[in-house]
Amino acid sequence: MHTVVVGTAGVTAADVVAVARRDARIELSAEAVAALTAAREIVDALAAKPEPVYGVSTGFGALATRHISPELRAQLQRNIVRSHAAGMGPRVEREVVRALMFLRLKTVCSGHTGVRPEVAQTMADVLNAGITPVVHEYGSLGCSGDLAPLSHCALTLMGEGDAEGPDGVVRPAGELLAAHGIAPVELREKEGLALLNGTDGMLGMLVMALDDLDNLYKAADVTAAMSLEALLGTDKVLAPELHAIRPHPGQAASAANMLAVLKGSELTGHHQDDAPRVQDAYSVRCAPQVAGAGRDTMAHARLVAERELAAAVDNPVVLPDGRVESNGNFHGAPVAYVLDFLAIAAADLGSIAERRTDRLLDKNRSHGLPPFLADDAGVDSGLMIAQYTQAALVSELKRLAVPASADSIPSSAMQEDHVSMGWSAARKLRTAVDNLARIVAVELYAASRGVELREGLVAAPASRAVIAAAREAGVQGTGPDRFLAPDLAAADAFVRSGALVEAVEAVTGALA
């Protein structure tokens, strides 16, 4: 099994995906253990002093003015976890919770939080055992960290609350820890606060969304190319010299991908003289511009994610010179903005894909294809309602594109009076990504049928490879009407799994 070693300098996006989605094993480096020990010594020294230090010997948030006596400090740390584990609503997905815990462990191991090495090791042990705390949908405003979600995770470390075992069964966390030989932690000064004060949930969801979108943007380039082919469009608009004079790197990459897919096609431009068209419609001609803008948005989002993955997000933080200082680094604005930006890009990519699908189905605009790509139009409805489903998904994407980060709602008696709503931005982006995969799947289904219906003309080798792989994966081809939902589900799985991109790359080489 792959092992991820956590040190003091942060982790990579690949590490997050490996732990969250593939249950990679986690180890703490010797450097991390040394940094944890050194920072803890600073916290212990401050705890012994009579002067109040926020998070060490005071209350929290609007209650920070109260100095807590030494005999109550362990109770204070337990209480903050219990009281902040106040989430409600449906459970959050297992991969999100694993990413959440792993990223909090990443910050803990930076040596800036003052948490003892044994607490960090327990976090790693819980993840390695496949124990997943029950975390709920609602409870984070994206400021002072993803408080409620992280608190539910910290509650599990204490042996309290509920968690899911590796068998998928939810049980009391104390029972699960005992079954795996893990001792519950007894929190000391600052540790409760340090376990729940970070942007880890929204960051984890950003990293996984980028992983999914990398596949989906390549898939969308492929389906756009196949739609162009089925519509007898021209590939001249994809020429590199045209994109070089508007030097957006994402645009050039998308155009190059489409051109690679279409190489060797007998459909593109072949009938321009028989059915004169000066230009293809925007949804076909401008596909690289729209997908490319989304790709450039992803590049910016990756930059933000990389910075956050290298960050130590906590309040207060332990500095190398021995100071423990309050700060605002827990504010989720940098992550929240790009989460919303990605949702906007996903909505636009879905929207243009739906327009191409509709064009394939309309006999007045499809350049000779049968109405709705039906076998016997009138007796058969073909893909009429598949496009309805796609349109409903696009409409939902547009609603999900409304930014969460433009909102704020004050909390904690106006101490926390401006919040990022980054968790909410991340949650809606996950839905947007899911919907985008379905939209691309419907275009694939329509475009592949359209290509097949162009009798007497040979499609590009890459297109033929996609169609063959899709049919093998249960995505049916042309023919009379049948129960369509299973076909669409198979197309969705084919796109989402990466099999679509793999089928193309087997012919073209790696796509950009």
What is the largest distance, in Å, between two alpha-carbon atoms of the chain? 90
CB 137 within 8 A of CB 424: no
Please state the three-class secondary structure of 20-73 as a single string.
Answer: HHHCCEEEECHHHHHHHHHHHHHHHHHHCCCCCCCCCCECCHHHCCCECCHHHH
Which stretch of DSSP H or E encloses residue 263?
none
Q: Reduced to 3 DSSP states, what percent helix, strand and coil does the chain have, rounded to the nearest 5?
A: 55, 5, 35
First vs last Cα of the chain: how many Å apart?
29
CA distance 463 to 327: 54
Convert 331-397 into a string of H (helix), E (strand) and C (coil).
CCHHHHHHHHHHHHHHHHHHHHHHHHHHHHHCCCCCCCCCHHHCCCECCECCCHHHHHHHHHHHHHH
Reference 454, options 180, 231, 126; nearest CA is 231
Token reading at 194 = 């340090």
Compute how many other C-beta atoms are within 10 angstroms of the C-beta atom of residue 52.
15
Report yes or no: 495 and 216 within 8 Å, Cβ to Cβ.
yes
Q: Is 266 exposed, middle or buried (0-12, 13-18, 19+ CB in 10 A)?
A: middle
CA distance 389 to 25: 40
The encoded tokens of residue 242 equal 């045209």
Is residue 388 flagged as an active site residue?
Answer: no
DSSP H or E run through 482: none
Distance from C-alpha of 42 to C-alpha of 47, rounded to nearest angstrom: 9
Tokens of 400: 């999900």
- In the three-class reduction of DSSP (H, G, I as helix; E, B as strand; rest coil), residue 132 is classed as strand
Query: Catalytic residue among 54, 337, 388, 445, which?
Result: 54
Please provide residue 350's backbone torsions phi and psi, each rounded to the nearest 5 degrees.
Answer: -65, -40
What pairs with residue 28 in β-bridges?
6
**CA quadruple 492, 497, 499, 505: dihedral sign:** positive
DSSP secondary structure string for all residues of 272-319? TTTS--SS--HHHHTHHHHHHHHHHHHHHHHHHHHHHHT----SSEE-
Positions marked catalytic: 54
